[in-house]
Structure 1
Amino acid sequence: MSIIHRQLALADAEAGMMLSDDLLDGQGHVLLPQGSILTEQMLTSLKRHGIASLRVVAGELTPEQEAERHAHFRMRIERLFRNLDDTPANTALRRYISTYRLSRS
Protein backbone atom coordinates (compact mmCIF):
# COMPACT_ATOMS: atom_id res chain seq x y z
CA MET A 1 0.00 0.00 0.00
CA SER A 2 1.07 3.57 -0.65
CA ILE A 3 1.35 6.11 2.09
CA ILE A 4 -0.54 9.39 1.90
CA HIS A 5 1.68 12.38 2.74
CA ARG A 6 0.54 15.79 3.91
CA GLN A 7 2.53 19.01 3.96
CA LEU A 8 1.74 20.90 7.16
CA ALA A 9 2.69 24.24 8.61
CA LEU A 10 4.70 23.65 11.77
CA ALA A 11 1.94 25.39 13.75
CA ASP A 12 -0.50 22.67 12.58
CA ALA A 13 1.78 19.74 13.47
CA GLU A 14 0.96 17.77 16.61
CA ALA A 15 2.83 15.42 18.88
CA GLY A 16 2.35 11.82 17.77
CA MET A 17 2.50 12.53 14.02
CA MET A 18 5.07 10.64 11.94
CA LEU A 19 7.46 12.32 9.50
CA SER A 20 7.10 10.98 5.97
CA ASP A 21 10.48 12.39 4.83
CA ASP A 22 13.77 13.39 6.40
CA LEU A 23 13.45 16.87 7.88
CA LEU A 24 16.36 19.05 6.75
CA ASP A 25 17.61 22.41 7.96
CA GLY A 26 18.58 25.25 5.63
CA GLN A 27 22.05 23.78 5.09
CA GLY A 28 20.70 20.33 4.19
CA HIS A 29 21.54 18.66 7.49
CA VAL A 30 19.08 16.07 8.77
CA LEU A 31 17.29 17.41 11.83
CA LEU A 32 14.96 14.40 12.13
CA PRO A 33 14.96 11.22 10.05
CA GLN A 34 12.00 9.88 8.11
CA GLY A 35 9.69 7.90 10.38
CA SER A 36 10.34 9.99 13.49
CA ILE A 37 7.35 10.38 15.77
CA LEU A 38 7.00 14.03 16.73
CA THR A 39 7.03 15.03 20.40
CA GLU A 40 6.26 18.39 22.01
CA GLN A 41 9.99 18.88 22.65
CA MET A 42 10.77 18.24 18.98
CA LEU A 43 8.13 20.72 17.84
CA THR A 44 9.54 23.40 20.18
CA SER A 45 13.06 22.71 18.91
CA LEU A 46 11.92 22.90 15.27
CA LYS A 47 10.47 26.36 15.93
CA ARG A 48 13.88 27.49 17.23
CA HIS A 49 15.51 26.11 14.06
CA GLY A 50 13.15 28.21 11.91
CA ILE A 51 11.32 25.26 10.36
CA ALA A 52 8.10 26.52 8.74
CA SER A 53 6.58 23.27 7.44
CA LEU A 54 7.05 19.51 7.32
CA ARG A 55 5.63 16.40 5.64
CA VAL A 56 3.79 13.87 7.77
CA VAL A 57 2.13 10.51 7.16
CA ALA A 58 -1.62 11.05 6.81
CA GLY A 59 -2.72 7.46 6.14
CA GLU A 60 -2.56 4.70 3.55
CA LEU A 61 -4.31 4.18 0.24
CA THR A 62 -6.47 1.13 -0.33
CA PRO A 63 -5.43 -1.07 -3.29
CA GLU A 64 -8.33 0.40 -5.29
CA GLN A 65 -7.27 3.98 -4.54
CA GLU A 66 -3.68 3.12 -5.42
CA ALA A 67 -4.77 1.63 -8.77
CA GLU A 68 -6.82 4.77 -9.52
CA ARG A 69 -3.90 7.00 -8.68
CA HIS A 70 -1.52 5.02 -10.91
CA ALA A 71 -4.03 5.13 -13.79
CA HIS A 72 -4.37 8.89 -13.32
CA PHE A 73 -0.59 9.41 -13.46
CA ARG A 74 -0.20 7.10 -16.47
CA MET A 75 -2.84 9.15 -18.29
CA ARG A 76 -1.10 12.42 -17.39
CA ILE A 77 2.27 11.09 -18.59
CA GLU A 78 0.67 9.94 -21.86
CA ARG A 79 -0.74 13.42 -22.35
CA LEU A 80 2.62 15.08 -21.63
CA PHE A 81 4.43 12.95 -24.21
CA ARG A 82 1.66 12.73 -26.83
CA ASN A 83 3.41 14.97 -29.39
CA LEU A 84 6.97 13.77 -28.89
CA ASP A 85 8.75 11.26 -31.09
CA ASP A 86 10.49 8.14 -29.82
CA THR A 87 14.04 9.48 -29.77
CA PRO A 88 16.33 7.91 -27.16
CA ALA A 89 16.29 11.12 -25.09
CA ASN A 90 12.46 11.33 -25.05
CA THR A 91 12.18 7.62 -24.28
CA ALA A 92 14.64 7.92 -21.39
CA LEU A 93 12.88 10.99 -20.02
CA ARG A 94 9.49 9.33 -20.22
CA ARG A 95 10.80 6.20 -18.48
CA TYR A 96 12.45 8.30 -15.75
CA ILE A 97 9.31 10.37 -15.12
CA SER A 98 7.08 7.27 -15.14
CA THR A 99 9.32 5.43 -12.68
CA TYR A 100 9.60 8.45 -10.41
CA ARG A 101 5.92 9.38 -10.44
CA LEU A 102 4.49 5.86 -10.17
CA SER A 103 6.86 4.81 -7.40
CA ARG A 104 6.02 7.91 -5.31
CA SER A 105 2.29 7.97 -5.86
Structure 2
Amino acid sequence: MINRHRYLPISKVSPGMTLADDLLDKQGYILLPAGTTLTAGMLKSIGQHAIPQLSIAQESLSEQEQIVDYQQKADRLDVLFRQGPYPAPTSLLHDYVRNYRRAEAE
Protein backbone atom coordinates (compact mmCIF):
# COMPACT_ATOMS: atom_id res chain seq x y z
CA MET A 1 0.00 0.00 0.00
CA ILE A 2 1.49 3.33 -1.05
CA ASN A 3 1.11 6.01 1.58
CA ARG A 4 4.37 7.94 1.53
CA HIS A 5 6.40 9.90 -0.93
CA ARG A 6 9.87 11.34 -1.14
CA TYR A 7 11.27 14.01 -3.41
CA LEU A 8 14.19 12.68 -5.41
CA PRO A 9 16.50 14.50 -7.81
CA ILE A 10 15.85 13.43 -11.39
CA SER A 11 19.30 11.80 -11.46
CA LYS A 12 18.23 9.35 -8.73
CA VAL A 13 14.88 8.41 -10.29
CA SER A 14 14.87 5.16 -12.23
CA PRO A 15 12.39 3.39 -14.50
CA GLY A 16 9.77 1.45 -12.55
CA MET A 17 9.33 4.09 -9.84
CA THR A 18 5.85 5.55 -9.35
CA LEU A 19 4.85 9.22 -9.24
CA ALA A 20 3.18 10.20 -5.97
CA ASP A 21 1.80 13.52 -7.29
CA ASP A 22 0.72 14.86 -10.66
CA LEU A 23 3.69 16.11 -12.66
CA LEU A 24 2.90 19.60 -13.94
CA ASP A 25 4.63 21.74 -16.55
CA LYS A 26 5.40 25.45 -16.09
CA GLN A 27 1.88 26.42 -17.17
CA GLY A 28 0.25 23.99 -14.73
CA TYR A 29 -0.78 21.38 -17.29
CA ILE A 30 -0.50 17.75 -16.24
CA LEU A 31 2.39 16.02 -17.97
CA LEU A 32 1.90 12.76 -16.07
CA PRO A 33 -0.79 11.91 -13.50
CA ALA A 34 -0.07 10.63 -10.01
CA GLY A 35 0.30 6.85 -9.95
CA THR A 36 2.15 6.68 -13.27
CA THR A 37 4.93 4.08 -13.36
CA LEU A 38 7.90 5.81 -14.97
CA THR A 39 9.71 4.43 -18.00
CA ALA A 40 13.12 5.34 -19.42
CA GLY A 41 11.42 7.28 -22.22
CA MET A 42 9.34 9.28 -19.75
CA LEU A 43 12.43 10.15 -17.72
CA LYS A 44 14.20 11.34 -20.87
CA SER A 45 11.21 13.54 -21.76
CA ILE A 46 11.00 14.92 -18.21
CA GLY A 47 14.63 15.99 -18.56
CA GLN A 48 13.64 18.24 -21.48
CA HIS A 49 11.25 20.16 -19.20
CA ALA A 50 13.99 21.24 -16.76
CA ILE A 51 12.27 19.52 -13.84
CA PRO A 52 14.86 19.08 -11.06
CA GLN A 53 13.02 16.58 -8.84
CA LEU A 54 10.02 14.28 -8.67
CA SER A 55 7.69 13.17 -5.91
CA ILE A 56 8.15 9.39 -5.86
CA ALA A 57 5.74 7.04 -4.07
CA GLN A 58 7.17 4.69 -1.48
CA GLU A 59 5.80 1.68 0.27
CA SER A 60 5.24 1.92 4.01
CA LEU A 61 8.44 2.01 6.02
CA SER A 62 9.29 -0.55 8.68
CA GLU A 63 9.37 0.65 12.28
CA GLN A 64 13.17 0.88 12.22
CA GLU A 65 13.12 2.82 8.94
CA GLN A 66 10.54 5.21 10.43
CA ILE A 67 12.83 5.87 13.41
CA VAL A 68 15.80 6.57 11.13
CA ASP A 69 13.66 8.77 8.86
CA TYR A 70 12.35 10.80 11.80
CA GLN A 71 15.85 11.23 13.23
CA GLN A 72 17.17 12.47 9.89
CA LYS A 73 14.35 15.02 9.70
CA ALA A 74 14.91 16.10 13.32
CA ASP A 75 18.64 16.51 12.66
CA ARG A 76 17.88 18.62 9.58
CA LEU A 77 15.49 20.76 11.60
CA ASP A 78 18.22 21.33 14.19
CA VAL A 79 20.55 22.51 11.42
CA LEU A 80 17.94 24.87 10.00
CA PHE A 81 17.22 26.38 13.43
CA ARG A 82 20.83 26.35 14.70
CA GLN A 83 21.04 30.12 15.27
CA GLY A 84 18.60 30.12 18.25
CA PRO A 85 17.35 31.19 20.70
CA TYR A 86 14.65 32.81 18.66
CA PRO A 87 11.83 35.26 19.39
CA ALA A 88 8.36 33.83 19.96
CA PRO A 89 7.12 33.53 16.33
CA THR A 90 10.20 31.63 15.13
CA SER A 91 10.32 29.51 18.26
CA LEU A 92 6.66 28.64 17.74
CA LEU A 93 7.38 27.64 14.13
CA HIS A 94 10.25 25.40 15.26
CA ASP A 95 8.01 23.67 17.83
CA TYR A 96 5.20 23.31 15.29
CA VAL A 97 7.44 21.69 12.67
CA ARG A 98 9.05 19.36 15.23
CA ASN A 99 5.62 18.24 16.51
CA TYR A 100 4.37 17.80 12.94
CA ARG A 101 7.35 15.58 12.11
CA ARG A 102 6.84 13.60 15.31
CA ALA A 103 3.15 12.99 14.52
CA GLU A 104 4.03 12.12 10.91
CA ALA A 105 6.45 9.46 12.16
CA GLU A 106 3.80 7.79 14.34
TM-score, normalised with respect to structure 2 = 0.56
Identity rate of aligned residues, in percent?
A: 27
2: CA distance, partners of 1:18 / 1:71: 25
1:7 is aligned with what amino acid? Answer: P
Q: Indicate the residue corresponding to 2:19 in structure 1.
A: 19
Gaps of 5+ in 2: none
Q: Indicate the residue corresponding to 2:42 in structure 1.
A: 43
* Cα 1:90–1:27 shift into 2, 3 Å: same
- Cα shift readout 1:74-94 (whole Å, capped 9, x = no counterpart): 233235435423532112321
2: CA distance, partners of 1:18 / 1:30: 15
After the TM superposition, which parts of structure 1 deviate over 6 Å for at least 4 consecutive aligned residues? Answer: none
Q: Indicate the residue corresponding to 1:32 in structure 2.
A: 32
Gaps of 5+ in 1: none
Q: Indicate the residue corresponding to 1:6 in structure 2.
A: 8
Q: Indicate the residue corresponding to 1:63 in structure 2.
A: 63
1: CA distance, partners of 2:59 / 2:90: 35
Quick check: 1:81–1:94 contact (8 Å CA) kept in 2?
Answer: yes
Q: Indicate the residue corresponding to 1:88 in structure 2.
A: 88
2: CA distance, partners of 1:47 / 1:70: 34
TM-score, normalised with respect to structure 1 = 0.56
2: CA distance, partners of 1:59 / 1:52: 27
